[in-house]
Amino acid sequence: MDLAVPRVNIAGRFDRGGLGAFVGAAAFDHFLTAYRDGMAALPPFEYFDLATAFGSVRAYRFAGPGHGPPVVLLPGRSATTPMYATNLAPLLRSRTVYGIDLLGEAGLSVQHTPIANAAEQAQWLDEALAGLGLESAHLLGVSFGGWTAVNCAVHRPGRIASLTLLDPVQTFARLTLAPVLASVVMLAPGAPERWRRGVMSWIAGGVDVEKDGAVATLIDAAARDFVVRTPVPRMFTDAQLRSLSMPVLALLGGRSVMLDPQHAKARAERLLARGQVEVWPDASHAINGEYPQQIAARVADFLTD
């Protein structure tokens, strides 16, 4: 399917406009080529551009069995809907699935108003779910997408039936220092591609990211071609996590370099009213790509329960 391409933000890397933007027309063309390649590998879909108070949100619908509320996928930082390429087919066996490009991040969502705080981060996502006509949805997020899901549940819980969190950052445990320093390398202007690929391989537990093909190329393009200007995600307080009334499934990577999985597990179990928390010993931060079949089966059981 050919994708309608909205008019995206183009701005200098060091501009102070407050909007996420591609750093030039050539940068967007480079990203768009990788994005089209990534979307071409996904199952058939229809797409929507949803108006919110902070911009237009690109969403994709992948039709599955019509049993219960759909699953809505939220990608990590410098990632977009194609990052779930290996997850879609197994998830679609039991549910209709939506993918959303996060507003203020690289993708075909286009921010037009600055986002000042976490409450506004939750507002645009809630408005996007409303635009899709979803009164109830199961949110599934990996990394920063997991934080985004919890943030919406804290500030705008009305439409959220459950949360599935795959190694979520800044949620149950703080980011460790190493990935913060690595992100400086990955996002630095002019950083060699081999450096960015090296950081991605380290985050993914040492795998050869070249074998990931389109997805690795797309994440590399997003890191190189786009500047994020949304607020830095803050850790959730104990009170905020205790306020979550919906069921929560948290799957943590035992080899994650982004967080301390045992500390995260202990805090989540202590604070979540309806939490199921597991550490998968051999999983890295890239757990969604490493265990797509197992995650889909676990999510299906969780949603059935």
Encode pLDDT of 203-249 as tens digits.
665 555 555 577 888 988 898 899 999 999 999 999 999 999 999 99
Task: Determine which of 101-105, 181-185, 223-227, 244-248 has the lowest per-residue pLDDT on average.
Answer: 181-185
Q: Please determine, for residue 18, whether its predicted confidence score (pLDDT) is greater than 60.
A: yes
The SS3 call for residue 180 is helix
For residues 165 and 150, is the Cβ–Cβ distance under 8 A?
Answer: yes
CA torsion sign for 104, 156, 300, 1 is negative
Global pTM reads 0.91
Give the pLDDT confidence score for residue 185 in this predicted structure: 53
Superfamily of domain 21-304: Alpha/Beta hydrolase fold, catalytic domain (3.40.50.1820)
The residue extents of the domains of the chain are 21-304
Give the pLDDT confidence score for residue 182 in this predicted structure: 56
CA distances for 187 relative to 114, 127, 220, 225, angstroms: 21, 30, 10, 9
How many other C-beta atoms can be found within 10 angstroms of the C-beta atom of residue 175? 16
Using H for helix, E for strand and C for coil, what is the string for 220-263? HHHHHHEECCCCCCCCCCHHHHHCCCCCEEEEEECCCCCCCHHH
Task: Determine which of 122-131, 138-147, 211-220 has the lowest per-residue pLDDT on average.
Answer: 211-220
Report the alpha-carbon angle 191-193-195, nearest 5.
70
Residue 184 buriedness (CB in 10 A; 0-12 / 13-18 / 19+): exposed
Give the pLDDT confidence score for residue 78 in this predicted structure: 86
Give the pLDDT confidence score for residue 154 in this predicted structure: 98
Phi, psi of 22, deg, nearest 5: -75, 150
Give the pLDDT confidence score for residue 210 in this predicted structure: 56
Give the pLDDT confidence score for residue 217 in this predicted structure: 86
- List the one residue out of 210, 69, 240, 219 whose CA is nearest residue 147: 240
Alpha carbon dihedral 131, 134, 136, 137, in 10-degree steps, equals -80
Query: Which residues make beta-bridge pairs with 251?
Result: 166, 278
Report the alpha-carbon angle 138-226-7, nearest 5.
80
Residue 37 buriedness (CB in 10 A; 0-12 / 13-18 / 19+): middle
The SS3 call for residue 58 is strand
Pairing of strands 110-111, 55-62: antiparallel
Q: Which two tokens stand for residue 119?
A: 């409450």
For residues 254 and 282, is the Cβ–Cβ distance under 8 A?
Answer: yes
Give the pLDDT confidence score for residue 180 in this predicted structure: 57
Q: Which two tokens stand for residue 15?
A: 């501009």
- In angstroms, rounded to a whole number, what is the distance separating the alpha carbons of residues 149 and 215? 22
Pairing of strands 21-22, 226-227: antiparallel
Give the pLDDT confidence score for residue 150 in this predicted structure: 98
- Average pLDDT over the chain, rounded to an integer: 91
The SS3 call for residue 55 is strand
- In angstroms, rounded to a whole number, what is the distance separating the alpha carbons of residues 138 and 97? 9
